Structure 1
Amino acid sequence: MAGHNPWPDEGNTGHIWDEDLRELDNPPPLWWMLSFYAGFIMIIFYTLYYPTIPLTNNSGEFTKGLTGWTAIEEYNEDFQVLKDWRVAKFADKEEQLAAMSVADILKDDDLRQYAVATSKVLFGDYCAACHGAGGAGNPSFPVLADDDWLWGGNIAQIEASIKNGRIGNMPAKGMMGNLTDEEIDSVTDYVIALSEGKANDASFAAGKAVYAKGMCLACHGPMGKPLAPAGAANLTDQVWRFSSDRQTIRNVIAHGVNVKKNGEYIEGTRQAIMPAFKERLPNADVNVKRLAVYTHQLGGGQ
């Protein structure tokens, strides 16, 4: 910077570089000053018009503004516009879903695809917490993407399960409740052998006898495969309702499923309850069908 100011009457600040580069002290343009002051006016307007200032009384409240506008209200209004548009656009398909049976919906490829496409959010909201994304099954809950069904996998049975719910039932210590700890160990090994195809080995003869004594065959069938889907597991495959761990299998045999005494669950019993969704789902008459079709299409529907 030069040590002198060759242009003292120019209105510069006296800051000069490279002999003739200087900083002037001119006022801003009028348009800029008007915009600057208008900004302050807009701050005042915004503060009064919109919810703005948090209150200091630890209530979590804030000034509401002259209009009472909130972002969530605007979102709800916009979302309602979207819902109204969807209702108008797909009204004919929704009427078909309401009028047709789930079996007929499956036969109509276009309507089936529509039901599947519009079920993904419903499944995520109401089913995925237990059955996992895509029906993969969370721990201790049934997989919906395989072909193993406790209550039947045809479309009508799936619809009934979703609509009315299901309650598992397995008595503790056999049908008569008369198995000893040693017998429970023996039948546990036999049940595992059934799943591995080794049940005919002579070493499991004692377990096979306990299987008959405990009346396990009444639900699971003489050879470990239920004669009809009624909530009993198929013991001949390697699909386990809770776990394939031997201790878990033994505990289920010993303490049963949903076993109560004096109105309370006994210690160690496993709880296996699927609630009825006929009163939980919005527009349940249609959405139960929609979810039934979606579940059937996950890969394991019969």
Structure 2
Amino acid sequence: MAHHNPWPDEGNTGHIWDEDIRELDNPPPLWWMLSFYAGFIMIVFYTLYYPTIPLTDELGGHTEGMAGWTQVNEYHEDYTVLKNWRVAKFADKEEKLASMSVTEIMADEELKSYAVATSKVLYGDYCAACHATGGAGNPNFPVLADDDWLWGGSVKQIEASLIQGRIGNMPAKGMMGNLTDQEIEDVTDYVIALSEGKGGDAAYAAGKAVYTKGMCLACHGPAGKPLAPAGAANLTDQVWRFSSDRDTVKNVIAYGVNVKKNGEYIKGTQKAVMPSFKERLPNADVNIKRLAVYVHSLGGGQ
């Protein structure tokens, strides 16, 4: 920085670098000053026109502004515009969903795609808490993306499950006293062996005898596979309603599913209840069909 000022009449500040680079002291342009002062005027305008000043409840809360504007009101106005646009744009498809059966919707590829596309948020709001994103199933809840269906996996059967809800039912073999502790141990090993394809091995003969004696075959079928979808699990695959852990399998056999005594669940019983969505879903007649098509599309529909 120079210690002398070769341009004393220039109006610079006296700060000079590299012999001729200096800092001038000129006033800002008029247009810039006018914009600067206009900014202060706009602050006053915004303060009066929009809700601005946060006050305590004792002082009446925040100032509401002369416009009466709020973000919530603007959101509702914009949402109404969007909703009306959607209603107008997709009215024909919504009418078809309302008038056609789920089997007819499945036969119409365009309408099926529309039902799937418009079900994702609905599924997330009402189904994903139990069945997880994409139907992967949260712990102790059914997986919807496999081919294991307790009540049937056709789109019509899925619709029926959504309308009626489902309540699992398996008697407690231990609590009822029709199986001894040793028999429960034996049939537990046999049930696990069935899932591994080893049900015919001589090592599990005792468990197979208990399976017949305990009337397990009445629901699960003579070979561990139900003859018809009526809520009973297929014991010959490796898909487990609760867990493949031996203690869990044994516990289900001993204490059953949804077993109650005097109106209360007994200790140890597994709870398996799916509510009816007929009264839960908005516009249920259409949205149940929409969800049935979506669930069927997740990969496990039959």
Q: Same fold, TM exceeding 0.5?
A: yes
Q: How far apart are residue 67 of structure 1 and its match?
A: 2.3
Please name the residue that 1:67 is paired with: 67
Q: How far apart are residue 229 of structure 1 and its match?
A: 0.9
Partner Cα separation in structure 2 for residue 198 and residue 6 of structure 1: 103
Contact 1:176 1:214 in 2 (8 A): no
Please name the residue that 2:185 is paired with: 185
The letter of the residue matching 2:110 is: D
Structure 1 range deviating more: 277-286 or 22-31: 22-31
Q: For structure 1, list consecutive stretches of 5 or more residues without a partner in the other structure.
A: none
Question: What are the superposed Cα offsets for residues 26-74 of structure 1, whole Å, 9 maximum, x if unpaired?
Answer: 3222111111111111112222222223335699x63332223222332
Please name the residue that 2:197 is paired with: 197
Question: What are the superposed Cα offsets for residues 149-199 of structure 1, whole Å, 9 maximum, x if unpaired?
Answer: 100111211001012211111111269442222211111011112222222
Say whether 1:235 aligns with 2:235.
yes
Q: How far apart are residue 79 of structure 1 and its match?
A: 2.1
Contact 2:174 2:180 in 1 (8 A): no
Please name the residue that 2:277 is paired with: 277
Please name the residue that 2:134 is paired with: 134
User: SS of the counterpart of 2:270?
Assistant: coil
Say whether 1:146 aligns with 2:143.
no
C-alpha change, 1:151 and 1:175, in structure 2 (3 Å) is farther
Contact 1:171 1:256 in 2 (8 A): yes
Partner Cα separation in structure 1 for residue 58 and residue 190 of structure 2: 64
Aligned length: 301
C-alpha change, 1:266 and 1:18, in structure 2 (3 Å) is same
Please name the residue that 2:98 is paired with: 98
The letter of the residue matching 1:276 is: S
Partner Cα separation in structure 2 for residue 173 and residue 58 of structure 1: 65
Structure 1 range deviating more: 3-12 or 33-42: 3-12
- After TM superposition, list the pairs within 5 Å mapping 1:1-302 onto structure 2: 1-56=1-56, 62-173=62-173, 176-302=176-302
Question: What are the superposed Cα offsets for residues 202-245 of structure 1, whole Å, 9 maximum, x if unpaired?
Answer: 22222122222222122112221112111110111121101111
C-alpha change, 1:21 and 1:181, in structure 2 (3 Å) is same
Question: What are the superposed Cα offsets for residues 282-302 of structure 1, whole Å, 9 maximum, x if unpaired?
Answer: 111000001111111222222
Partner Cα separation in structure 1 for residue 133 and residue 73 of structure 2: 31
The letter of the residue matching 1:216 is: C
Contact 1:225 1:233 in 2 (8 A): yes
The letter of the residue matching 2:48 is: L
Question: What are the superposed Cα offsets for residues 221-274 of structure 1, whole Å, 9 maximum, x if unpaired?
Answer: 222111211111011112110111111100111111111122221111111111
C-alpha change, 1:300 and 1:12, in structure 2 (3 Å) is closer
Partner Cα separation in structure 2 for residue 52 and residue 179 of structure 1: 73
User: SS of the counterpart of 2:130?
Assistant: helix
C-alpha change, 1:273 and 1:243, in structure 2 (3 Å) is same
C-alpha change, 1:221 and 1:17, in structure 2 (3 Å) is closer
Structure 1 range deviating more: 105-114 or 87-96: 105-114
Q: TM-score, normalised by structure 1?
A: 0.92
Q: For structure 2, list consecutive stretches of 5 or more residues without a partner in the other structure.
A: none
User: SS of the counterpart of 1:63?
Assistant: coil
Contact 2:175 2:254 in 1 (8 A): no
C-alpha change, 1:295 and 1:280, in structure 2 (3 Å) is same
The letter of the residue matching 2:299 is: G
Q: TM-score, normalised by structure 2?
A: 0.92
Q: How far apart are residue 10 of structure 1 and its match?
A: 4.3
C-alpha change, 1:148 and 1:17, in structure 2 (3 Å) is closer
Partner Cα separation in structure 1 for residue 226 and residue 31 of structure 2: 87
C-alpha change, 1:178 and 1:162, in structure 2 (3 Å) is same
CA RMSD of the aligned region, Å? 2.2
Partner Cα separation in structure 2 for residue 243 and residue 108 of structure 1: 38
Once the two structures are aligned, what percentage of the paired residues are identical? 80
Structure 1 range deviating more: 47-56 or 220-229: 47-56
Contact 1:171 1:177 in 2 (8 A): no
